[in-house]
Chains A and B, each alone.
Chain A
Amino acid sequence: QKEVEQDPGPLSVPEGAIVSLNCTYSNSAFQYFMWYRQYSRKGPELLMYTYSSGNKEDGRFTAQVDKSSKYISLFIRDSQPSDSATYLCAPWDTGRRALTFGSGTRLQVQP
């Protein structure tokens, strides 16, 4: 079993839709929960992160972590074609000093 499980998609939505991207994890040592976005043929870029459980909002993006159920979510409001990319959840293990990436969910926002 992988430490971080993520539905690979692809997920196709119309412009303006609310998108929900999710991950589950098994390692209780994870403390920071990052979301990276990767456009085709580019390196991943950090979108946002949360520390421990709770919500964090940044513009159209909201990250949510529920440590009791080991569930990570990213919500995108008013999705735009420019949001079309692969989204990777990546918890940070402070003990191992490493990110463990999910396999990524490919999102396509149709104009």
Chain B
Amino acid sequence: DSGVTQTPKHLITATGQRVTLRCSPRSGDLSVYWYQQSLDQGLQFLIQYYNGEERAKGNILERFSAQQFPDLHSELNLSSLELGDSALYFCASSPSPGTGELFFGEGSRLTVL
């Protein structure tokens, strides 16, 4: 158990809908990362937050947004969903923002029908 909690574990929705994925980092970790894992693209970095502020942005679509709250939990919002958004979405937290030592949750599997 990495100590990172993600909910929901599974989510099935329709095209055009909006969903919110939630992540609670490990106790004491200030950095939160979001990654998308699909069969054809592998693990893709979406966005990073550190203590409530956006720190780095990767291949995140404009239809997606995220935030980190004062209690350090984070949410990833996916809107106007398309079939291609079906993937595993991982949250990870880190004790240090500068080394790549990430602790991943078990992921939220999103299926868009």
Interface, chain A (partner B; CB < 8 A): 32, 34, 41-46, 49, 88, 90-92, 94, 96-104
Interface residues of B in 39-98 (CB under 8 A from A): 42-45, 48, 55-56, 58, 90, 92, 97-98
For B, the interface residue count at a CB cutoff of 8 angstroms equals 25
Which of B45, B98, B100, B106 has most A Cβ within 10 Å? B100
Measured CA separation A92–B33 after assembly (Å):
13
How many whole Å from B30's CB to the nearest CB in chain A? 13
Pick the residue among B55, B99, B104, B106 that contacts A92 (CB under 8 A). B99
Pick the residue among A44, A45, A49, A92 that contacts B43 (CB under 8 A). A44
A44→B45 contact, CB < 8 A: no
Determine the residue in chain A with the shortest Cβ distance to B92. A43
